[in-house]
Amino acid sequence: MKKSIIIVGGDPNSINSEIIFKSWKKIKKNIKNRIFLISNYKLIKAQFKKLNYPINIKIVENLNEISRDGKLKIINLDLKFKNPFKVPKKSASNFVISSLNLAHKLALNENVTGIINCAISKNLLKKKNIGVTEFFSSKCKIKKNSEVMLIQNSKFSVSPITTHLDVKQISKNIKKDVIISKVITLNNWFKKTFKKKPRVGILGLNPHNAELRKNSEEITKIIPAINKLKNLKININGPLVADTVFVDEYKSYDVIFGMYHDQILPAFKTIFKFDAINATLGLNYLRVSPDHGTAKYLIGKNKANIKSFLNCIKFINRFGK
């Protein structure tokens, strides 16, 4: 029997219900039967009703309740609310954290393929500079800064060395050992998942790579890390120049590592739009999410794009046999 897929409903104040419903209509029944949604039954039912989304849903107690009726199975979490589109921040935060904790616990089961979490506002996770990547890394007791955030599609991927940090904190958090650890994790994952050694490019931090001044991060941290990785027979090149790499040069690589979040993600999303997923590498299980936010400005407008969520389903399904 194929393994279960866990979907975390995510932020209750979001387009997530719309994404789930629109996607549900396009998912094959044999995949639907493996999906368990962690959410709140009354919330989902109320949001579907207000949006005029006809869908059959039912509460289940655990992953053992396998069914072949194509209904959306909900593992129900308690959530008290008056307005299904305006859940108070405190309630939403407690709900999201409880959902993620339960997903982590369930994903450790060998009969689970992995987790797809719908969009979540980072301020609901209560800790500064913490996103879902860092949340699950902490739950899995992954060594700090060794997890890898990968924005990926079938053509190309990018990954930031530092993730959700304020700009003023970036330089001091770029370290030779961190770069080495993250690239090794990525390289091993590519070989295991895609049966290939990835072609890896890595950017410098400063404009024009600081002209390779002797006290720059490029000379003191990035190039020494690249040299070490080359000695480990990893196919890596750099430091590449960030202001031109996404014109055409990126096509020579499977993955480009940037030094910080907004050095690479805006360019990637400009090129590929919603054709991507967000994956966390190095966990005890697969974890992916759509590569977009909660889009509160689109709630109730029936304009949400489901491509990234469907890509998550397609990606995680390939490992569920």
Instruction: Set out the domains of the chain in order of their start, with CATH numbers.
Output: 1-142+283-321 (3.40.718.10), 146-276 (3.40.718.10)
> Looking at the predicted structure, is the pLDDT value of residue 321 above 60?
no
Look at residue 227 in the predicted model and tell me its pLDDT: 98
Percent of the chain's residues with pLDDT above 70: 98
Largest Cα–Cα distance of the chain, in whole Å?
65
The two structure tokens encoding residue 2: 């194929």
168 pLDDT band, cuts 50/70/90, is very high
129 pLDDT band, cuts 50/70/90, is low
The type of residue at 291 is D
* Separation CA 225–CA 177 (nearest Å): 7
Q: What is the pLDDT of residues 73-113, one digit of tens each?
A: 999 998 777 777 788 899 999 999 999 999 999 999 888 99
Q: Tell me how many degrees the CA angle 46-50-54 measures, rounded to the nearest 5.
A: 85
**For helices 16-24 and 307-317, angle between their N-to-C axes, nearest 10 degrees:** 60
Look at residue 320 in the predicted model and tell me its pLDDT: 58
* Separation CA 174–CA 159 (nearest Å): 14
202 pLDDT band, cuts 50/70/90, is very high
Overall pTM surpassing 0.85 (yes/no): yes
* Separation CA 6–CA 77 (nearest Å): 14
What 8-state DSSP symbol labels residue 167? G
The type of residue at 89 is K
Of the candidates 129, 133, 111, the residue with the CA atom closest to the CA atom of residue 173: 129
Least confident of 111-115, 262-266, 297-301: 297-301
> First-to-last CA distance in the chain?
7
Report the residue count for the chain: 321
